Amino acid sequence: MQNVNTKLPIFPLPVFILPGGITRLRIFEPRYLKMVKIATQEKGFVIWLNSGKSKDIKSENLDILWGSWVEIINFDQGEDGILEIDVKCKSLVEILSTEKDNDNLNFGVVSEISHWSQQIEESADNNLSESLVEVFNNNKLLDKLYVDKATNNTHWVVARWLELIPVDLDVKTSFFDGYNFEEAESFVSSIIYRE
C-alpha cells in the first residue's frame, strides 16, 4: 500500500466501520452538508471514531489517531426531509494533523493504514458466515446496503461481525490496530457461539 498523505474532511462520530463496511448516515448540520459536497467532488471523508468522548479534534487532544476513510455510494432523503447518505469504508487512515475551517468543519492530513480486513481469504467459517447471512435476511436495511456480500471471505465476515455485535466501542477499537485477524475471529466466535 502506497503511503501518500491526503487532506480530507473529518466527521467526529462514534461509528465503528472497517474496510468494506457500509453504513447509512443522516446529515443535517450545515458544516456537514458542506462536508458532503466536498466529499462528492473530491475523495470522500474520514469518520473519526471518537467514542463519544469529545467533539473537539484538536491534534493535541486526539486520543484515537486514526479513522475510517469513506466514500459516498448513495444519496437519499428521509421521510422527514433529512439527507441520508450511504458510505463505504475504503481503508483505515492515521490522522497526522488537523485544522478547522471558518465553518468549524474539521480537516485532517491522513495516511492509509493496512488492515487485515482488506485481505481476501476464501475459506469462511461456515457457521459465522451462515449466521451473518441470517442477520442480513432478517434486516432489510442491512440487506439493501450490502448489495455484494462476500460471505465466502473470512476476513469480510469477521469485519462485518465486529461492526454489528453490540459491545462497547472501546472493545471494538482494539480491533482497528492492536489485534490481528486470528484474535478478531476468536473474539467474534466467542460472542456468536456463546450459549
Domain hosting residue 80, numbered range: 6-113
Structural domain ending residue among the three candidates 113, 138, 164:
113
Question: Which cell is 120 given?
Answer: 481476501
- Please give the full DSSP string across the chain, using - where no structure is assigned: -----EEEEEEE------TT-EEEEEE-SHHHHHHHHHHHHTT-EEEE--TTS-S---GGG-S--EEEEEEEEEEEE-TTS-EEEEEEEEEEEEEEEEEE-TT--EEEEEEEE--GGGS--S---HHHHHHHHHHHHH-HHHHHH-SS--TT-HHHHHHHHHHHS---HHHHHHHHHTS-HHHHHHHHHHHHT--
- CA–CA gap between residue 106 and residue 190 (Å, rounded): 38
CATH assignment of the domain containing 32: 2.30.130.40
Q: Which three cell numbers stand for residue 16?
A: 465503528
In the structure grid, which three cell numbers stand for residue 86, read together? Answer: 450511504
Query: For all residues of the chain together, what is the average pLDDT?
Result: 87
Task: Please tell me the distance from the alpha carbon of residue 187 to that of residue 22, in angstroms, as a whole number.
Answer: 21
Residue 168 sits at the vertex; the CA angle it makes with 166 and 172, to the nearest 5 degrees, is 90
pLDDT mean over 167-185:
81
End residue of a domain, out of 113, 129, 147: 113
**What pLDDT band is residue 174 in, cutting at 50, 70 and 90?**
confident
Render pLDDT for 21-61 as a digit per residue (tens, 0 to 9).
999 999 999 999 999 999 999 899 999 986 444 455 554 44
- d(Cα 13, Cα 117) in Å, to the nearest integer? 21
pTM of the model as a whole: 0.88
109 and 122 assigned to the same domain = no
Percent over 90 (pLDDT), the chain: 61
Cβ-contact 152, 130 below 8 angstroms: no
Residues 128 and 105 in one domain: no
Domain assignment of residue 1, yes or no: no
Is 107's pLDDT higher than 50?
yes
Q: What single letter denotes the amino acid at residue 141?
A: L
The answer on 183 and 131 residing in a single domain is yes
Same domain, residue pair 123 and 70: no
